[in-house]
Structure 1
């Protein structure tokens, strides 16, 4: 009998360790609602976050419930105007999304999801002006929204000139022409990869204009 109890205890300990290894250790962020002043756009901000961190092959791109690859499926996970009682937000802060070995969503990403739900969870798109291409206001956010989930700090994703981080001006400017080729689909290889949507023609032109205008850090 004692041997049975010891074995059962051992199994329970191993199970607990296994479950804990599937989670991340983090403290849920405190969101400052007063700081969310700008409109949070679904197609430009929220969808890229979810597609790159949740709706990929083997996860919530159709293989697992809930399916999170489009607006209609994501909308089912939210209570518009009430982020704290929306499953999408509680998953994002509850050490569940995305699972290891991917890293948890950062504070900016979580705040974007929170703000989008708070503003009514609309299927909206940010107006694009290809001739507005300041690095800090336009180019860096474009890269952060569409590339940073793979090319984040410490990243070794990609091969050859596509490999590594794209988190600041020095890294992005050093690979600007390669990035332009990739987002344009040159040589048949496109970035961001599926299931994320390719960048719009306007956004590609915006990045191209920045590259052709001496890649300024402005």
Structure 2
């Protein structure tokens, strides 16, 4: 079974995949360059499952995931979820002095999660965005410049770098929720406003207990004031839920 996730080696997505007890036994990892590419891999049949971040306890929703789920709603569905604790590390090449850091690279989510640390501890460093945490660490490790990256400590080992600081996220208990995705079975149509149960053979994780249904609202229209209220009103009319 092939599992797509945001790569390359050393991302938090790979870290989550490695420790998730719901990962398929003997799975084949399929790292992708972007989150949408991981979801597209499932939709196109190039991967059997995808593990993608959807929400962080500090920064909120992961927009690329939500946008892709809406775009590919006819092809992909959620089959499980997994919460993963995130510990951010400041990583540099061997011998880099903390006070010499001129640039800090990372994915937008870690940069936001460590914004206070960067402002107070590295006020003179320029912040630059990378496609992923591991791409940032890889670039830092290959550069002679006084650059550092934010990412998981395991990425430092992969790219021959050093951890300069660890646990630098602005708030303790930093958790990211990941979604397990699978393709919709052949013949299953998705229609707006309809919710169909997930076939049990597709479910990831514990199958007992309460089920969760996720809804996404899109294209409500700027010329339709109150559209979201109208959509939510259907829930207010339900009882016993």
TM band (smaller chain): under 0.3
TM superposition score normalised by structure 2: 0.25
Answer 1 or 2: which has greater strand percent: 2
